[in-house]
Amino acid sequence: MATTYKVLGQVNPASNTFTTLYTVPAATSTVVSTINVCNQGIANDTFRIAIRPGGETLVPKHYISFNTVVPAYDSISLTVGITLATTDIITVYANASTTSFNVFGSEIS
């Protein structure tokens, strides 16, 4: 069993666009420790984060954060501490293109 704590994904999505932050690789499970959201813009922004088990179509029950405000020139860290299974997907969304996302954790093979 090999594990390494690392950056699992980084994205700076276009505004109002659902974007994949991370997909668990085949034959692997992943422990997600933290998701960071950083707003580099001059105005407050709202964001959404969803975890889609097995790559399911996005539905309301998948959200772990919905329309949460991140202040201008600030960041938020969400401590998740969740294990994801093969093909689970973390999807993110922000109202402005100045908001970026980073996810940290360990892949277990």
Q: Which residues pair with 20 in a beta bridge?
A: 91
Nearest of 62, 97, 83, 75 to residue 3 by alpha carbon: 83
Domain ranges (residues) in the chain: 3-108
Residues 6+ apart with CB under 8 A from 51: 62, 64, 82, 84, 88, 89, 90, 91
**pLDDT reported for residue 109:** 81
**pLDDT reported for residue 55:** 86
N- to C-terminal Cα separation, the chain: 6
Query: What CATH number matches the domain at 3-108, 2.60.120, 3.30.1360, 3.40.720, 1.20.120?
Result: 2.60.120
CB-based burial of residue 91 (10 Å sphere; 0-12 exposed, 13-18 middle, 19+ buried)?
buried
pLDDT averages per 10-residue partition of the chain, 109 residues? 82 96 93 97 97 94 97 96 94 97 94
**pLDDT reported for residue 4:** 77
